[in-house]
Amino acid sequence: MFSLIRDTFTSQLVTLWRVFKHMFDKKDTVEYPDVQPYMFPRWRGRIILSRDPDGEERCVACNLCAVACPVDCIALQKAEDENGRWYPEFFRINFSRCIMCGFCEEACPTNAIQLTPDFEMAEYVRQDMVWEKEDLLINGTGKYHDYNFYRVAGMAVGGKDKGEAQNEAPPVDVRSLLP
């Protein structure tokens, strides 16, 4: 009993002392904006939509990011071009709701949606925090350079016919009974 009281007591005093000693340590604070901090590439900041290596919009409007988003701040609508390629007709992120969790990026099967190291997202007008596809879409591949979903998927799209995707045999001739 006594030793318990003693230990509790000394433990508090030791804690106080240790915290007090921090007074003489180097401060961790970076004095932004006077000093620009180094942002890691995988920092979860402002979200962008990227393009595939062929320069086409990567997003296929699968809605997975939207459903993964815990605050439901992504809304989009699928559309299809004349060659059967899916793309978002509109793609909206309400950054005033976004918590930068990165779930959308985790969920995206095409590497289209990516979080970037840009964290300077303050706006004077809250409405300006609602970004549409025009604002989100960048002209590059972002962090992932090589992946092109439509080269892997089986759907025919402009520039890639049936049987031309990775690991695909040419379309079968259903009138033939040859093996």
Cis peptide bond N-terminal to 53, omega within 30: no
CB of 66 to ligand SF4, least distance (A): 6
Out of 3, 27, 120, 139, the only residue in the binding site for another protein (CB under 8 A) is 27
Distances, alpha carbon 9 to alpha carbons 6, 15, 64, 111, in Å:
5, 10, 54, 55
HEC sequence for 93-142? EECCCCCCCCHHHHHCCCCCEEECCCCCCCCCCHHHHEECHHHHECCCCC
Out of 107, 129, 155, 156, the only residue in the binding site for ligand SF4 (CB under 6 A) is 107
Q: In sequence order, what are the residues at sequence separation of 6 or more whose Cβ sits closer than 8 angstroms to the Cβ of residue 55?
A: 139
Decide whether 47 or 165 has the Cβ nearer to ligand SF4: 47
For residue 86, state whether it binds another protein (rule: CB under 8 A).
Answer: yes
Choose the one of ligand SF4, another protein, none that binds residue 37, judging by a C-beta under 5 to 8 angstroms depending on kind.
none
CB of 102 to another protein, least distance (A): 16
Choose the one of another protein, ligand SF4, none that binds residue 122, judging by a C-beta under 5 to 8 angstroms depending on kind.
none
Out of 43, 56, 97, 135, the only residue in the binding site for another protein (CB under 8 A) is 97
Distances, alpha carbon 62 to alpha carbons 25, 49, 91, in Å:
50, 13, 11
CA torsion through residues 174, 176, 177, 179, sign = negative
For residue 133, state whether it binds another protein (rule: CB under 8 A).
Answer: no
For residue 73, state whether it binds another protein (rule: CB under 8 A).
Answer: yes
For residue 93, state whether it binds ligand SF4 (rule: CB under 6 A).
Answer: yes
For residue 137, state whether it binds ligand SF4 (rule: CB under 6 A).
Answer: no
The DSSP letter of residue 51 is: B
Binding site for ligand SF4 (CB under 6 A): 47, 59-65, 68-71, 73-74, 76, 93, 98-104, 107-108, 110, 112-113
